[in-house]
Structure 1
Amino acid sequence: MKKFVFIFIMFVVLIGCSTPMAKHRKHIREGIFISGLNQFAFLEEWGKPDEQATWTVEGGQYQITYGLRGVEVGGRHKAFNDVWIYYKQNRILFFANHRLVANYKWDDYQKGDREKKELPAIMK
């Protein structure tokens, strides 16, 4: 009986631990890119991004690696740490603390569709 209880508890713990990431991966597979999706779920589903940029903060100033700026989300500026571009999936993703804060279709950005959306500027 004790062995059964132990196995049942372990099963519940394992299912409980994997559920949030499984939900995030399901959203990604279905194309539902809601704020808060875990950055590592994108790695598991799509692999490494084709291009990426990382921001770090030193002395209260953002230091840019590769050259991507902040993004306007909901009319106010949100700082982000990572920007990932997936060409095959046609997505540019913005993460803060390993959580999705914004995303756009890469083609829309490339066409200069800036009137409909406030998109980040890429400096190359």
Structure 2
Amino acid sequence: MKSRLRLKVWWPRSDKDVANIVKRYKGCTLVGLLNHPVPVKRRDLPTVPWVDAAMDFLGPLPNNDYLLVVIDFYSRYKEVKFTKVIISLQIIKLLKEIISGLGYPSSITADNGRQFISVTM
């Protein structure tokens, strides 16, 4: 605001006057408040592979396929499965394929997608 004002007018103590006006104006104080971000709490990493995993869908892709992505928190190893539908029965089928090769993780973290919180899952 000060630099814009200086382009048009100037007077002694103009910077201080402008600062005082801005401090008193409620709209400026609301916009000018610093919003300090809340620190992100890091997840405790497991000490061995395939204990904690995360899963989510990516898509739809241009060909209308979806990707089911399952990631191991320890090693960052990823399993990716293509699917045309994202219903619970299909997710269970894909997870069985993954688990048959890697075993059962202790926990799987997922967002609150309706496919992940259904009765079938």
Which of the two has higher C-alpha Rg?
Answer: 2
Structure with bigger strand share is 1
- TM-score > 0.5, shorter chain as reference: no
* TM-score in terms of structure 1 length: 0.28
